[in-house]
Structure 1
Amino acid sequence: MLLELMKTKDILARLGEIKTDSQYLIGFALEAKNEIEYGRGKLEKKNCDMIVVNSANKTDSGFGGDNNTITLLKKDGSLLKFEPQPKSKCADIIFEKMG
């Protein structure tokens, strides 16, 4: 069986192009290296207000697990790092840090 894949459009970049001043755009990035550098690049390139960087290097978090290790990068230049947390707690943190 052959599965042919097609490249999709960058939905986050498009949302960044059309967002208004009253909208707050959050993007997510799973990174295995240069997490902060790549996250900041996505923040700027995609015109987000915040990027949630998920670390792919932690054995106790990520896909298939109950925890995530996140870093929040905001448009104002702030950086907030968090220890591994349950995914539900990560959602609470993201919501609290918006704006």
Structure 2
Amino acid sequence: MRQAGLRLRRKHRTTIPDPAAAKAANLIGRDFTAAVVNTKYVDDITYLPLVGGKFLYLATVIDLASRRLVGWAIADHTLASRPRGWKTPAEASNEQLQLLQQTGVATTG
């Protein structure tokens, strides 16, 4: 790595949990299987490092039965630094999940 001019990046802590905040319920129970499409979803936020120590935040939602990407959002800010009215990737992800869980909502793909 030294010869190629590569170096390991120091881990950057982007989230500091509030110890007083309520924990989200684990509805999956580590069972990442689903027999029917549009019945079980998972989401994740990935921090993408940029030059200069900044990040992009990518939130994704995946249907566990089809293993297909259902929705995604990307932003250059987190909750603490966003302008009024903007959604974080997690909020956009949760909104997408709520829309998909409503009766009669169709998806494409």
- TM-score, length-normalised on structure 2? 0.33
- TM-score, length-normalised on structure 1? 0.36
